[in-house]
Amino acid sequence: MTKPVMALYCATFFCRLRGLTFRRSLSAMDGLLLVQKSDSRVDAAIHMLGVFMDLSVTWINSSDVVVDVCMARAWRPMYIPKAPARYVLEISPAHSSDFQIGDKIRFEEVGTG
């Protein structure tokens, strides 16, 4: 069983565009969940330009199934998932082996205080 990751829900265009750009670090338990309107390979693509750290990236479709995973390296131009995805989970490389293609993911909303 994978330990939970606290990811900021990021569904607006500007939030997704900025992502983790210009961040210099990310704690092992934090992340960013980029949310698209529907499954897509193109819309779920990410860039790492201006990102100063490597990230473990997990692409998840609208059925909450992992469709791709990769280690995204800092300053690389683009990563495109192998299959259409609605969600892109960007987390610490410490979680690089936590998710595999075919895994079923469960999302839970957590209050801010």
Query: Do 41 and 88 meet the contact criterion of CB atoms below 8 Å apart?
Result: no
The span from the CA of 75 to the CA of 87, in Å, is 21
> Is the torsion defined by CA of 75, 81, 85, 87 positive or negative?
negative
Q: Classify domain 6-95 by CATH number.
A: 2.60.120.1140
The span from the CA of 11 to the CA of 59, in Å, is 15
Query: What DSSP state is assigned to residue 83?
Result: S
pTM value surpassing 0.85: yes
- Domain residue ranges of the chain, discontinuous segments joined by +: 6-95
Digit-coded pLDDT (tens) for 32-89: 999 999 999 999 999 999 999 999 999 999 999 999 999 999 999 999 999 999 999 9
pLDDT class of 112 with cuts at 50, 70, 90: low
The span from the CA of 91 to the CA of 38, in Å, is 21
45 backbone dihedrals φ, ψ, rounded to 5°: -65, 145
pLDDT at 38: 97
